[in-house]
């Protein structure tokens, strides 16, 4: 544990030092990025050692002489620590070039402060071993990320996003506190221990915790804050928030599963159904977005859905005593946690470079960036292929495991079969929609011709610290995808920490699976090389010309005539109209020589659309009715306190 706390100390100093040296702009950024990065390196080393068989470690301290702060790092914690430290390390490097405006020196220093706080708090959340420690770390994490979201607080939509995030994270935290309360009521201690709880109480704990953690993870329908907060934050923070912070919600759900040992088919079914709904609707809403970072944020909802499908399949596997299904489900879901951390932070960093260079996040205003930003374009392409789950990249491996786990369930009797069917078809639809969505992003943003002057005048100069993390992440996507054997043992260690008896499950089938993936990827690469060589051979000594795109007889094209992302997604969105109502604003064309016209469209998130009428209005109505309690008379307030004390005396 000493190495772990040392790493947190270094990370924290990476937050404090910039505050002291904010007048020297470059020095400040070097200090911030180096210290946070170095701390993450130490933390990574510790997490690797734990996963490689170092066993669990624990430590505890007295706090306020009545409470104990207890920490424990087991396989599950170490697995999440790995993702947290890796992504934060690369984001710290990235931030050096990204936060490059010397006029905002103090703001940058404050941002480094909260960044370090967020990193440390996330690490503490997954290392916490009792409720008090967990909630403390959880609150620090929520608040630090809130301040990072409102970094650009001069813009009204940022403030709105921050407000929404604040409300959601605290309502979520309240649900977690309630869950812990029930847990405390059963066990009588602050330790995570559910031995004394009845089955009903366990269901209550899980239900409350699922809502609380689910709102942090961005599970549909608790995801409303996510598409607002992620785009508002600076891009390296979006990468951290989407890549790892929302995963603390997944960690919480998994930890609860482990503590409660609540392996009934019903609970697994709930998790699975939430997963499928989040997965499909997340990607449908992503398709309808015009803002690049908002689109990526909705994809987090989708990928959290895929992770939940894996966990749900795993839980159903445990409940029905199908060990292989359980192992494949959990391992697939956990591996997808790591995979999503790599490709989603890569994509957010890519979007950050685009935003940094063009000043625009509007998909339909960009275009042709690949030619002038080859590194950004190529790494973004790798990230896009990975998030679509296409071989030979890492997204495929995680989804492949979940597929195999689901197919294990197909052999079972009817209720489980129906769930497996849902998972498989859900995954297939998600995969197809993700492909549509990312072919849109790559095609419209990075390919074709520039649609605006800002997209025309771009380059990659002076962004080395931004490009390097993206290259590392893209390489990680390819390595995990081609050679998963080295990475598969990590989720297995994590699953072992959940109390699943990994030992009695035939592990050689999982090992064989990874050799198969490697073999298949190698054959695909070989085929690609052969066809590429064939192509070279065929072009030997041939005349190769250059000309404009064939315009089907039309000779005066402009860049604005290209297919836009909006039109690309239109027909698919039409199909999902009931779940994704489309609002269009364009006047009808009238007369032979119509006037200048316009077109605006917006895809409504049904939860956001109905949040106001279904939740906000009744709640305000209720509190309106209760307003008489608060009338401003101090004597009556003292009376309330007295009454409360008397009532409490009777109960305690």
Partner 1 sequence: MIDSLLLWALALLTAPLFAGVIFKVKAFFGGRKGSPLLIHYYTLAKLCKKGSVYSTSTTFLFKLGPVVSLAAAATALLFLPMGGQPPVLTFDGDVIFVLYLLGLARFFTIAAAMDTASPFEGMGAAREAYFPIICEASLFMILILFYRLSGDLNLGAYFAGENPRGFWQTAGSPLLFVVIALFIILLTENARVPVDDPATHLELTMIHEVMVLDHSGPDFALIEMGALLKLFFYAAMVARLILPLQPGHPLLNLGIFSLGLLLVYVAVGITESVMARHRMDRVPKFVLTSFALAFFATIITLEFLR
Site for partner 1 in 189-228 (CB under 8 A): none
Distance CA 346, CA 361 (A): 16
Distance CA 647, CA 156 (A): 46
Of 6, 570, 579, 582, which one interacts with partner 1 (CB under 8 A)?
570
* Complex with partner 1: residue 62 or 508, whichever CB lies closer: 508
Exposure pattern of 469-484 as b/e (b: 16+ CB <10 Å)?
bbebbbebbbebbbbb
Q: Does 561 bind partner 1 (CB under 8 A)?
A: yes
Shortest Cβ 26–partner 1 spacing (Å)? 35
* Complex with partner 1: residue 44 or 521, whichever CB lies closer: 521
Q: Does 549 bind partner 1 (CB under 8 A)?
A: yes
Q: Does 524 bind partner 1 (CB under 8 A)?
A: yes
Q: How many CB atoms lie within 10 A of CB 150?
A: 21
Shortest Cβ 593–partner 1 spacing (Å)? 23
Distance CA 476, CA 495 (A): 22
* Complex with partner 1: residue 123 or 375, whichever CB lies closer: 375
Residues 28-57 that bind partner 1 (CB under 8 A): none
Shortest Cβ 597–partner 1 spacing (Å)? 18
Distance CA 465, CA 343 (A): 18
Query: CA dihedral in degrees (100, 104, 107, 108; nearest 10)?
Result: 20
* Complex with partner 1: residue 256 or 327, whichever CB lies closer: 327
Q: Does 513 bind partner 1 (CB under 8 A)?
A: yes
Q: Does 443 bind partner 1 (CB under 8 A)?
A: yes
Shortest Cβ 141–partner 1 spacing (Å)? 36
Max CA distance (Å), the chain: 98
* Complex with partner 1: residue 20 or 428, whichever CB lies closer: 428
Start-to-end CA distance of the chain, whole Å, equals: 39
Of 61, 63, 532, 640, which one interacts with partner 1 (CB under 8 A)?
532
* Complex with partner 1: residue 260 or 569, whichever CB lies closer: 569
* Complex with partner 1: residue 374 or 499, whichever CB lies closer: 374
Of 64, 552, 590, 626, which one interacts with partner 1 (CB under 8 A)?
552
386: phi then psi, degrees, rounded to nearest 5: -65, -45
- Tokens for 206, please give them: 């899980």
Residues 365-424 that bind partner 1 (CB under 8 A): 367-368, 370-371, 377, 381, 385, 388-391, 396, 400, 403-404, 407, 410-411, 414, 417, 420-421, 424
Residues 81-100 that bind partner 1 (CB under 8 A): none
Cα–Cα separations (whole angstroms), residue 74 to 62, 169, 489: 21, 26, 14
Of 571, 590, 631, 632, which one interacts with partner 1 (CB under 8 A)?
571
Q: Does 69 bind partner 1 (CB under 8 A)?
A: no
Q: Does 539 bind partner 1 (CB under 8 A)?
A: yes
Shortest Cβ 613–partner 1 spacing (Å)? 32
Entry field: residues in the chain: 652
Using the 8-state DSSP alphabet, how is residue 280 labeled? H
Distance CA 333, CA 330 (A): 5
Q: Does 429 bind partner 1 (CB under 8 A)?
A: yes
Stretch that binds partner 1, among 86-94, 195-203, 266-274, 537-545 (CB under 8 A): 537-545
Shortest Cβ 350–partner 1 spacing (Å)? 16
Shortest Cβ 388–partner 1 spacing (Å)? 7
Of 70, 125, 351, 572, which one interacts with partner 1 (CB under 8 A)?
572
Shortest Cβ 438–partner 1 spacing (Å)? 8
Helix (H, G, I), strand (E, B) or coil at 171: helix
Q: How many CB atoms lie within 10 A of CB 391?
A: 18
* Complex with partner 1: residue 140 or 429, whichever CB lies closer: 429
Shortest Cβ 555–partner 1 spacing (Å)? 13
Of 1, 9, 19, 520, which one interacts with partner 1 (CB under 8 A)?
520
Distance CA 263, CA 194 (A): 13
* Complex with partner 1: residue 523 or 638, whichever CB lies closer: 523
Using the 8-state DSSP alphabet, how is residue 73 labeled? E
Of 135, 435, 582, 611, which one interacts with partner 1 (CB under 8 A)?
435
Q: Does 577 bind partner 1 (CB under 8 A)?
A: no
The residue written with tokens 């620590």 in the block is 81
The 3-state secondary structure of 237-274, one letter per residue: HHHHHHHHHCHHHHHHHHHHHHHHCCCCHHHHHHHHHH
* Complex with partner 1: residue 541 or 632, whichever CB lies closer: 541
Binding pattern for the stretch 460-499 against partner 1, x by CB under 8 A and - elsewhere = ----------------------------------------
Among 148, 169, 33, 149, which residue's Cα sits nearest to residue 88? 33
Shortest Cβ 358–partner 1 spacing (Å)? 17
Q: Does 599 bind partner 1 (CB under 8 A)?
A: no
Distance CA 527, CA 110 (A): 51
Distance CA 125, CA 308 (A): 20
Of 30, 559, 579, 607, which one interacts with partner 1 (CB under 8 A)?
559
Question: 11 and 36 in contact (C-beta within 8 Å)?
Answer: yes
Shortest Cβ 599–partner 1 spacing (Å)? 15
The 3-state secondary structure of 606-617, one letter per residue: HHHHHHHHHHHH
Distance CA 601, CA 607 (A): 18
The residue written with tokens 């401003």 in the block is 632
Distance CA 494, CA 314 (A): 13
Among 206, 200, 413, which residue's Cα sits nearest to residue 321? 413
* Complex with partner 1: residue 263 or 400, whichever CB lies closer: 400
Of 574, 614, 623, 640, which one interacts with partner 1 (CB under 8 A)?
574
Q: Residue 589, by phi and psi: left (phi above 0), alpha (psi -120 to 50) or beta?
A: beta
Distance CA 607, CA 351 (A): 26
Of 154, 504, 542, 596, which one interacts with partner 1 (CB under 8 A)?
542
Among 348, 336, 315, which residue's Cα sits nearest to residue 242? 348
Residues in the interface with partner 1 (CB under 8 A) total: 83
Residues 444-463 that bind partner 1 (CB under 8 A): 444, 447-449
């Amino acid at each position: 544990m000493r190495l772990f706390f040392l790493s947190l100390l270094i990370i924290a100093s990476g937050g404090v030092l910039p505050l002291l040296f904010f007048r020297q702009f470059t020095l400040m950024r070097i200090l911030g990025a180096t210290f946070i990065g170095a701390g993450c390196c130490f933390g990574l080393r510790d997490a690797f050692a734990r996963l490689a068989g170092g066993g669990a470690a624990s430590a505890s301290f007295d706090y306020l002489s009545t409470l104990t702060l207890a920490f424990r790092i087991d396989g599950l914690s170490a697995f999440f620590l790995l993702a947290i430290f890796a992504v934060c390390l690369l984001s710290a490097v990235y931030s050096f070039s990204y936060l490059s405006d010397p006029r905002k020196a103090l703001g940058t220093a404050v941002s480094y402060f909260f960044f370090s706080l967020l990193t440390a708090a996330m690490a503490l959340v997954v290392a916490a071993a009792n409720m008090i420690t967990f909630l403390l770390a959880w609150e620090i994490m929520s608040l630090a990320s809130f301040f990072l979201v409102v970094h650009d607080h001069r813009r009204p939509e940022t403030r709105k996003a921050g407000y929404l995030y604040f409300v959601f994270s605290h309502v979520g935290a309240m649900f977690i506190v309630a869950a812990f309360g029930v847990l405390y009521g059963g066990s009588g201690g602050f330790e995570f221990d559910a031995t004394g709880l009845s089955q009903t109480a366990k269901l209550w704990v899980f239900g409350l915790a699922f809502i609380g953690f689910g709102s942090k993870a961005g599970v549909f329908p608790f995801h409303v804050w996510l598409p607002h907060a992620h785009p508002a934050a600076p891009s390296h923070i979006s990468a951290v928030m989407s890549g790892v912070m929302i995963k603390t919600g997944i960690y919480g759900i998994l930890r609860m599963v482990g503590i409660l040992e609540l392996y009934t088919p019903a609970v697994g079914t709930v998790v699975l159904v939430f997963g499928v709904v989040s997965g499909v609707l997340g990607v449908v809403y992503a398709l309808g977005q015009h803002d690049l970072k908002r689109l990526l944020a909705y994809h987090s909802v989708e990928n959290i859905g895929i992770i939940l499908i894996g966990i749900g399949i795993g839980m159903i596997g445990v409940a029905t005593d199908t060990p292989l299904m359980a192992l494949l489900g959990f391992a697939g879901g956990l591996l997808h946690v790591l995979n999503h951390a790599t490709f989603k932070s890569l994509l957010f960093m890519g979007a950050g470079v685009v935003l940094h260079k063009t000043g625009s996040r509007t998909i339909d205003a960009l275009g042709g960036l690949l030619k002038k930003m080859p590194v950004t374009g190529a790494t973004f392409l790798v990230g896009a292929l990975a998030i679509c789950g296409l071989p030979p990249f890492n997204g495929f491996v995680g989804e492949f495991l979940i597929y195999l786990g689901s197919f294990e369930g197909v052999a079972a009797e009817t209720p489980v079969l129906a769930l497996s069917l849902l998972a498989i078809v859900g995954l297939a639809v998600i995969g197809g929609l993700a492909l549509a969505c990312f072919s849109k992003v790559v095609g419209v943003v990075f390919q074709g011709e520039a649609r605006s002057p800002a997209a025309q005048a771009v380059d990659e100069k002076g962004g080395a610290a931004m490009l390097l993390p993206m290259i590392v992440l893209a390489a990680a996507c390819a390595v995990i995808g081609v050679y998963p054997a080295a990475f598969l043992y990590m989720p297995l260690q994590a699953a072992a920490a959940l109390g699943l008896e990994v030992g009695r499950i035939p592990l050689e089938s999982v090992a064989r699976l990874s050799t198969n993936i490697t073999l298949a990827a190698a054959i695909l690469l070989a085929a690609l090389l052969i066809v590429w060589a064939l192509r070279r051979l065929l072009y030997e000594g041939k005349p190769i010309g250059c000309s404009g795109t064939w315009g089907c007889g039309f000779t005066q094209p402009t860049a604005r005539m290209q297919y836009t992302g909006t039109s690309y997604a239109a027909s698919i969105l039409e199909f999902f109209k009931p779940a994704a109502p489309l609002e269009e604003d364009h006047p009808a064309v009238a007369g032979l020589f119509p006037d200048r016209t316009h077109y605006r469209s917006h895809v409504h998130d049904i939860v956001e659309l109905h949040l106001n009428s279904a939740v906000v209005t009744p709640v305000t109505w209720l509190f309106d009715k209760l307003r008489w309690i608060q009338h401003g008379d101090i004597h009556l307030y003292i009376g309330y306190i007295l009454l409360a004390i008397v009532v409490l005396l009777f109960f305690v």
